[in-house]
Structure formats: C-alpha cells, structure tokens
Chain A
Amino acid sequence: MKHDFNELRLDRVTRRFAGHGGHAFNALNELTLTVRRGEFIALLGPSGCGKSTALNCIAGLLPLSGGTIRLDDQRIDTLPPERRGFGMVFQNYALFPHMSVVKNIAFGLRMRGIAQSAIAPRVAHALKLVQLTGQEHKLPGQLSGGQQQRVAIARAIVIEPPLILMDEPLSNLDAKLRLETRSEIRRIHRELGRATIYVTHDQDEALSLADRIVVMKDGVVQQIANPQEVYAQPANLHVARFMGYRNVLHLDVSEENGDRVKVEAPDIKLTGVRKLPLAGKRATVAIRPEEMTIATAPAAENVIAGRVDNVEYGGRDSLVDVVTRGGARLHVRAPVHVAMGADVHVHVPPERVLVYPYDGSDSPAGIP
C-alpha cells in the first residue's frame, strides 16, 4: 500500500455480467483513463451507465472481466480490496452500526496495526476536518444523515489513502444538506490534495467538484474533459442531452462551410457549429434553454418566430415554451416576463447552436 502515487492507469477495464437468459452484457466496456496525483475525477452518467461498476472495479470489490489497473508501475487489479488501501465512501454510508463514531473512524487504522496512542490524534484530526467534534461516542444510529455521511468521509480519509473513491455520497441527503456537504467535500479535497474519483448522476455535482469529468452511457465512455468543455462543447448528442441541452431539433443541412453549418426547416433557419462530421442531409441540433433569448422584434440572424405556449415561473427567471408555426417546441429560459400566447422571436448565437449527426432516436434526455 502506498501513500501517494503519480498515476493511476486504467487500461481497457471491462466488466461483464450475466444478464437475463444467460447472455452476458458489458456493464463497463473498455474504460481507459489516467488519474493524476491530486486530481478530482467525476464519473457522470445516468443510472445503469456503468459508473458504479467502474468504481467497484477500482476499489477491488468487483473482479475485472478484462483490462488492467496500474498504480504507477504496480499492477493492482489482482489485489483484494484490503491490499489496495483506497478509501471508499459508500452511497448508504455503510457505517458499522455497533461501533461508536470514534471506533468507526479508527477501524482502518486498527486494521493497519497502528498503535492506540497514534490512533487517537489522527481520529481527532479527521473529526475536526469533517466538523464532527463532540459526537465522538454516539452510535451511527443516533446521528442525522448528514452527520453519518461526514463520519463515512472521515473514516475513508483518516487512513490517508492515495485515492479516495466516492459512490454518490450525496444522493441520500436533502437538497440543502447536499449543497453544504458538496462544498465540504471540495474543501476537504483541497486541504488533503488526495486524488478522488467521484461517482454521480448529477451534472451540477460533477461540474462544481471535478477537475475532469468522465461522461458515460451504457458502459461506454462518451467524453473525458474538464467541466467547462463538457458543459459548453459536449462531444456528442448523448452528452449534450445529459448536460441540459433540452432543445433537440432534427433539421436539414443546407450549407456546410468549414465548421459553420446552415440548417433549416420550413419555419426555422439556423447557423450553427458542427461538432462531429455530418453524414447525409439531416442533422440534429442541440441548444441550451439558457442560451436563447426572447425578443419581440426580429434581429439579424438565427431568429425563430413562434408563440408562447407555456410559462413556468422559476424565481430569477422563467422557463418559457415557444411553439413555432411548424409545431416545434423550444424551451427558453427568459429573465423577462412574457405573456401567454404572445408572438415572440427567439434568438440564439450561432456558436451556441451545436450540430451533431442526425439521430432519429427521439429518446428523452438520459436522466433517470
């Protein structure tokens, strides 16, 4: 077991499960990823995308069906979890119900044969780090969900693992606590500087915490990039849908000029940016509701005319549905007040119209 490392290299890590009727399916298909020292990686995707499988493979809780995992020059995918020494935070906390807070946190140190006199100060330090001082002798059952999650985090970091694994650690907390604990996790990561792999299905969590995001779908990696890039330049339509590009339109390609593409329908004419090589005359366009603006008078270009069909008030802004003459429905986030049934023009800058190869499968965004 090492205290720190330079690189954790996952090379074509694959995990197969026996599915219904005996035929196997790949829950995780050839995940290749290099995690650098101190990096915060988020595995992001809808449920069943293989992100938790990937985490369990790294932790050693699931054997690989193929591929290798190396920590610097040491191959670790053949080691049992107790010899990998990674700290793990489980979705349902997995605190030992018969042990007090202190004993839970000290467990990993005891298993490492560390002297009792050395354990106490380290546990106290971990308690301070997660701001749980004063709760030392309570049993997990006497703590609130948020406190239990802090104990779970303290228990994982007190062993000073080279790598911390977190499996949807915030999914059992209520909205307010989730935001607080998220900042806590960010702060703790900054203070300790340990590489962390964080599994989540919440794009906000991934965007706010991670240095790099791995977007997954059906066991296959869709994009590995920093948050800014995943947010603004989704590699494909799956990622775009998952990152909140709610307007997905199928249009005809009328002109391709380098990356600039003109796409159209009888009632819509748009100029956009091509993200992937297009095949054929049809293309699928993705636009974020936040990046459209509503104007009452027509502007120069990239304007769609329509009628307000629905307004959902959301405080700072409203979510406005605009239906075009041809019946296409656009979701627009508008800070201004618009009246139901009003005729409006929707504008979107060309660089924020992302054009992908045609995808006829009109599945809703891959959010569970």
Chain B
Amino acid sequence: MSSATATTVNAAPVERVPFDRALLLVIPATLFMLLLFIYPFIYGLVLSFEPPKGDALENYRKFFTTDNLWPTIWTTLKLALPATIINVGVALPIAYKMRVKSRWQRWITTLLVVPITLGTVLIAEGMLTYFGPRGWLAQFLQLLHVYDGPIRLTHNYWGVLISLVISGFPFAFLLILSYVTGIDPVLARAASTLGADPKAQFRHIYLPLLAPGLAMCFCLAFVQAFSVFPSAVLLGAPAGPTRVISIAAYEAAFEQYDYSLASAIAMIMGVVQLVIVAFVLSLRNWFYKGPVTGGKG
C-alpha cells in the first residue's frame, strides 16, 4: 500500500456517530424513575439512619432487639415462601397441560386468570363470606355432616395463605404458560422419536429449558407475596400469627408516627427480599439460559 493512501486515511476527519435523537424518548421514563423511585428510596434510606434519638444505627438495633419487630421477618417468610411454592408448583403442571391448543385451553386459561382482575380487598371480602365460621363452606359441610367441628379458615394464618394463593396464582400461571408455550414443541417430538416417553420428555427437555423461567417466576411471585398487607389485616390475625413486616412498618409510621423507624423496617424488608431473590437467581447459573428453539426456524 502506498504511503499516500495511508496519509489520506490518517488525515481523514474522525467521523462522529451522529446523536440519535430517538434516545431523547427515554427522558420521561428516566425522570419518572428518578422522582418516584430513586429519590424516595434514597430519602427513606437516609431517614432510616436519622432516628429521633440515639445514634445512626439506633433504628436497626431497635428492630432486632424488640420482641414484636424482629420476628415479623419469620412471620412474613412463613407466609410468603409456602404461598410462592404452592403457586409456582401448581401453576407449572397446569400450564404444561395447557401448552397444547385445544377447545378447553382458552376457557380454562380464562377461568384461572380471572382472580388477577380482583383486588386483594375484594378477595378478602369474598373469602370472609365463603370461608368464615358461618360462611357458605362451613354451612355446606355442616349441612352434609361431612365435618361438624368449627371451621377456622379466616382471621388466622390459613386465611392469609389462601388469599395469597388466590391472588398470586394467576400471575404465576400466566408467566409460566408463556415460558412453556415459548418452547418449540418439535423438541419434545424429536425426543419421542429417540425413545423418550412423555415423562422423560418433561424431565429432560421441558424442565431444564423452563428452569430459568421458573426461577424468575418464583422471584416475582415471592416479592409480591412478601409485601402482603391488606389480606394480612383483613383475613389474618394482625396482632399475632400474621403480624407481617409490612404491618410493623405501617404501625411505626402511622400509629407511632416514627417515620424513621418505619423507613428502617422498609429497608430491612427490601434486604430480605433481595437476599432470597439473589439466592434463587444464582441457582439459574446451573441451567442453560439461551434460546429455547431447536435450530433454524
């Protein structure tokens, strides 16, 4: 190559990538995030280190030494983890069955998803009428003499758990259904020609390909269940077995007017959620995470 050419190449002005004005479209969303999430979050974080009296860590010390505060972590976990496991565990087989288009698929899917349109308060009202001590279920069972003892499914642990399942299931189901139907069914057919019966097809093809999605679904369902508040008050025993962490934060903020302590409790709540989510997502690294098709389309 001649030196002349090299010189011209070097002398050519550095071409700048023109500014893509479409990028301006992210500004509203960024402002929204900054004003309504980042700023309140930092404000709360700072507030939690500024108790009315005592040093910066006073609120955290108080939380972990007060007998009606620190156990709320376990109370909440005891509700949120089983509810999440039930939701994901029940949604998976149903979604797997619903992957094939059939006449019933649409109806069943619609029926299962309806509760997502109901608010937690509405569900709680309905459950009080249905599951209550003098509710329809109790009256029906006693009428048939199936079970004559008292039925306590509201104002305790079970009431909150049932409501978490009712409100959380459609979400888990929809999410898993979208993962399941995203897997190319030709893979299962290929497996069947290689000698895999339906059970082996699920175990060796669907389950490994679904695993990352299941982990993601578990995390989202868990975070939703962990922040339970209305149903814990309306259907649970908010003074005792279902005194969840959000109730503790609410009491601190709106009964004791200790915003600083309430912020600290909210921070602790966030950390617990993050720990569980990080743990579950780290399990994803054991699985294949790439595209779930079997080759060129």
Contacts and interface: CB of A to CB of B under 8 A. Distances in A.
Q: Which of B184, B190, B194, B196 has the most CB of A within 10 A?
A: B194
Contacts of B205: 96
A140 B193 contact: no
B209 A88 contact: no
Interface string A93-123: 1111110000000011001100000000000
A81 B290 contact: no
B165 to A, nearest CB: 31
B197 A96 contact: no
A61 B196 CA distance: 13
A92 B186 contact: yes
Given A97-B290, A141-B290, A86 B295 contact: no
Contacts of B196: 82, 107, 111
Given A92-B186, A98-B209, A111-B200, A148 B191 contact: no
A97 B209 contact: yes
A94 B294 contact: yes
Given A94-B184, A98-B208, A159 B194 contact: yes
Contacts of A112: 195
B106 interface: no
A355 B156 CA distance: 89
Contacts of A87: 193-194
B296 interface: yes
Contacts of A92: 184, 186, 293-297
B287 interface: yes
B192 interface: yes
What interface size band does chain A fall in? 20 to 34
Given A95-B295, A98-B208, A90 B186 contact: yes
Contacts of B287: 98
A95 B292 CA distance: 10
A152 B195 CA distance: 15
A172 B296 contact: yes
B134 interface: no
Contacts of B208: 98
Interface residues of B, number: 27
Contacts of B204: 96, 107
Contacts of B184: 92, 94
Interface string A128-142: 000000000001110
A63 interface: no
Given A80-B192, A81-B192, A81-B193, A94 B187 contact: yes
B189 interface: yes
Given A80-B197, A98-B287, A159-B195, A61 B294 contact: no
B257 interface: no
A245 B200 CA distance: 49
Contacts of A60: 192-193
A335 interface: no
A59 interface: yes
Interface string B277-297: 000000000011011111111
A108 B295 CA distance: 18
Given A61-B189, A96-B187, A111 B292 contact: no
Contact of A111 (B187, B195, B295, B297): B195
A93 to B, nearest CB: 3
A94 B186 contact: yes
Contacts of A85: 195
A67 interface: no
B294 A90 contact: yes
A333 interface: no
Contact of B190 (A88, A139, A159): A88
Interface string A59-96: 11100000000000000000011101111101011111
B192 A82 contact: yes
A95 B205 CA distance: 10
A82 B193 contact: yes
Closest 9 CB pairs of A and B: A93-B295, A98-B288, A108-B194, A111-B195, A94-B190, A94-B294, A88-B193, A81-B192, A94-B186
Interface of A: 59-61, 80-82, 84-88, 90, 92-98, 107-108, 111-112, 139-141, 145, 148, 152, 155-156, 159, 165, 172
Given A93-B296, A111-B195, 14 more contacts: A81-B189, A82-B195, A90-B190, A90-B294, A94-B294, A95-B295, A97-B291, A97-B293, A107-B196, A111-B191, A111-B196, A111-B200, A156-B194, A165-B193
7 contacts: A59-B193, A82-B196, A90-B294, A92-B297, A95-B294, A107-B194, A141-B290
